[in-house]
Structure 1
């Protein structure tokens, strides 16, 4: 697990900043081309190891926004220069990252990590649902400032091909800001595929069809949760009367706008019993869906409060999981299993399992350390505790992992 924030000693920070970390060689070879969009030298944070700085202190005269010393600072600097040094966890911030700094705080947040497929544009803490297993309970606040931060962040990213997520809260609550961000991504980051996580409820408004059709982003997809084949059970999970109907309308509007759609199902005691019926519902009523993700639960946020209602050992839902997976797969609908360790996945389902947990919240517990499958397994969320641990967790031997590998073919 690689954290997304750490503490530095910070000198001469006069205001909030978003900065792109680059090495001296990259500065010389690429300059501002290291950023995908509009940027100035003031947006660059030069990576200067203490030994390099000691050998060539004149590097501090380069016209950049600041300097990052990834170890202890041994060379005096000017009182006016922005300098970050002596990180608490040296591995957290690396060249290519985009970091956020706040005055009167030693915390440095990594908003973009070079080469990672777990980068995320966070839209809002607000949400119009209150899902029983929500990993990030919503807050009733005005946080429009995330829109401007994301628009600036897009400019400073690498122009590479990593995937980029957009999430919240509920991103569609800030409709205009979301559409502006999608349009800017299309212009500035055309190589990156975008995946928006939304409950789909506000997409019921027909005006979304025209807006998304006009956007014509070729690599934009939507992940929409559906927790049951009926309104009663879905609405109970999301704690919002009428949500099922609104979500279905939203899904149809996305289809009318020719969007790529993924249906997501969090696996819990409340959702696994009728998984086969839900698979039938998706096939018969949502034939335009491109992918179905069946996802192990993240044991944090509101899930901890509702442990008794939600927790079911994955060993106890393997039959309905198998039925749902094969029903969809045999009918040409791609399906994946997310967030479940391989030792909890029957060998005949192993080729549907994905390494799905974001790198900054991925954990492998002690029982995993001698497992032959650790390089191929999703592992656990960092919030994992014994309270949420299956009785089936065990390290796979080379022979056992071989059986999984053979099943994948």
Structure 2
């Protein structure tokens, strides 16, 4: 069965957090797209064959027209409508009920640590941890599909096992650990924010071990297969749908191709690796700073699936 085609719609770049690792921070001056412009993107995405849409940003839930936009997407016939968010607005149960009624079917709140201290040193928004945790609780109580995203940084990688325990306790359906993308604020603050993958590896593996028997679906993003020996089936790149990205500056009609050809990088040694045909490599900015010494090809016959 082919993967669905997804539209990632960046509604604008305003946000009520100020994350030290934000990959979109350099676009904040662009502000928000207009309602009409976003409706046009939704129509064009549908014409391009997209069956799913993700409202992202910036922070989509602080837009006054977000309910109108979600309903518009539903009326256009999008089969899945995901809200990718820092999760703070979900702490208001009434808002959750309204956006569900408008047509949202999936929710992706972001939790970046198991404690307020670890989460908020990154979001730089006091009180954001309690709001996001309450938001997750509200969505779970409302029987919604909740898939959290946690950006892996120097600030939180040692606490990933504890974060996994918290997410399982909260009752999420899925959690993703996404290695920080070194652009925007993360590039500006590279030395503070971006850990070495070899340092992170044992903590990601322990987090996955904790989740194995929980029934929670788990994924790890932007963490190449050579760091995931024995855990390869959790690499999110195996499951990413085809799709396009639309924001205020550009439209990427084939994000899968862009990610492989422009966003990520590989080196000569990757050609020797058994996972070469299915691995995308790291975000290209990572080896620009840290080089390729950590990346060890896994020898063996080439594989095309896990």
Q: Same fold by TM (over 0.5)?
A: yes
Say whether the 8 Å CA contact 1:209–1:254 is kept in structure 2: yes
Matching residue of 1:130: 18
Equivalent of residue 92 in structure 2, options 185, 205, 212 = 205
- SS of 1:337's partner is strand
Distance 1:272 1:387 in 2: 19
Higher relative contact order (CA 8 A, sep 6+): 2
Name 1:88's counterpart in structure 2. none
In structure 1, what is the Cα distance between the partners aligned to 2:33 and 2:111? 30
Once the two structures are superposed, residues 80-111 of structure 1 have per-residue CA deviations (whole angstroms, 9 ceiling, x without a partner) of xxxxxxxxxxxxxxxxxxxxxxxxxxxxxxxx
Find out whether 1:186 has 2:74 as its counterpart: yes
Give SS of 2:230's match.
Answer: helix
Structure whose CA Rg is larger: 1
1:314-393 counterparts in 2 under 5 A? Answer: 314-345=197-228, 347-355=229-237, 356=240, 358-359=255-256, 360-362=258-260, 363-367=264-268, 368-369=270-271, 371-389=273-291, 391-393=293-295
- Out of 152, 165, 172, the residue aligned to residue 54 of structure 2 is 165
Deviation at 1:245, TM superposition (A): 0.6
SS in 1 for 2:158: coil
Q: Does 1:305 align with 2:188?
A: yes
- Matched-pair contact (CA < 8 Å) for 1:127–1:139: no
Q: Counterpart of 2:186 in 1: which secondary structure?
A: helix
1:216 and 1:274 map into 2 onto residues whose CA distance is 35
Cα distance in 1, alignment partners of residues 164 and 33 from structure 2: 39
Identify unmatched segments of 5+ residues in structure 2. Answer: 242-254
Provide the residue aligned with 2:159 in structure 1.
274
TM-score, length-normalised on structure 1? 0.63
C-alpha separation in 1, matches of 2:60 and 2:26: 12
Equivalent residue number for residue 296 of structure 1: 179
Q: How many residues in Structure 1 have an aligned counterpart in Structure 2? A: 283
Determine the structure 1 residue equivalent to 2:247: none
Taking the TM superposition and a 5 Å limit, the aligned residue runs for 1:70-219 are 117=5, 119-137=7-25, 143-156=31-44, 157-158=46-47, 160=49, 162-174=51-63, 176-191=64-79, 193-217=80-104
Closer/same/farther in 2, CA of residues 142 and 373 from structure 1, 3 Å limit: closer
- Structure-1 separation of matches of 2:214 and 2:85: 26
Asked whether the equivalents of residues 280 and 327 of structure 1 are also in contact (C-alpha less than 8 Å), the reply is: yes
Cα deviation, residue 344, structure 1: 2.1
Q: How far did 1:335 drift?
A: 0.5
Distance 1:238 1:119 in 2: 26
* Deviation of 1:377 (Å): 1.4
Q: Residue in 2 aligned with 1:34?
A: none
